[in-house]
Each structure stands twice: as C-alpha cells, then as structure tokens.
Amino acid sequence: MTEHDIIDGHLIVTQEKTKQPPRIKIIGQLATLLDRIKARKAGCKVKTAALLVNLNGKRLTAPALRAQFDKARTAAAVAVPDLAEEIKQMWFYDLRAKAADDTADDLGDQAASNLLGHENVQTTRRHDLRRGKIVALTK
C-alpha cells in the first residue's frame, strides 16, 4: 500500500481476485497507525510513497515483511507460553479471517463480506468466517 491509496480519509484496498475497491475509513487505531508511519518516514533520508518501509526508508519487501512477522510470532510465543503452540501455528493470511470474524461479530456477516470485497455473503461464510455465530441460552 502507498500514500496514493489514501483518498478523502479512506484507505483504498483493491481486492486481487474481484478488483473491488473497498474504502476503509481512516479512524481510530488505523488513523493512529498511519500517523506513526508518517512520523517515522519523516525521519528517513530516502523518500517513497510506500506505507511500509525499512529502517532506511526504503519500501519493505514481501520477504522482509515475512521475516518480521516470523520474528514477532516467535516473540509472542515466548511472551505467552500458555498459547505458544497456537501462536506458532498462526500464519500471516490468518489475519484476514480474523478480521472477517471480528467484523462479523461486531457488525454482521454483510459487513465482513464488504470488508473482504466479496460480492455476496455466502462467499465470506464459506471461505473466511471460522467462528460460529454468537447465540444466547434459551433459559
């Protein structure tokens, strides 16, 4: 993603398969994160539009991002030994499904489908929603 993907207070993320361009509102933690990125990039000599950059200010490559994710996963497993095995099993792509589950829990399946750029809710339910629906007890 680049700074050019930020338009009118939204982060435009074009989906690879469907080419749908959902607009994500830049509010809350995302706004805070983008402010941190902007401040960090301001201190770099190399200027790039990429949002994710290395310590030198150059675009962060996919292999570098993978290596950083692996380091963070290992550190998390050490920090939380009770969940170490589950943490070690986690992959980067699992974050997409987690985002779908969290959105579905908070805002419904249609909102999760919109977030992922699916044309219908059935696709989201079939491929990305991993948790069951939240239900109440009868008594």
- Measure the CA–CA gap between 95 and 101, rounded to whole angstroms: 10
- Measure the CA–CA gap between 14 and 8, rounded to whole angstroms: 16
The residue ranking higher by pLDDT, 134 or 119, is 119
pLDDT of residue 46: 85
Residue 116 · residue 15 · CB < 8 Å: yes
pLDDT-based confidence at 53, cuts 50/70/90?
very high
pLDDT in tens, 70-122: 999 999 999 999 999 999 988 877 788 888 888 888 888 888 888 877 878 88
Domain ranges of the chain: 1-60
CA 88 to chain centre: 19
Residue 128 · residue 96 · CB < 8 Å: yes
- Using the structure block, give the residue that is written with the tokens 């499904």: 97
Average pLDDT over residues 48-60: 91
The mean predicted confidence, pLDDT, of the chain is 86
Does residue 135 have a pLDDT over 80?
Answer: no
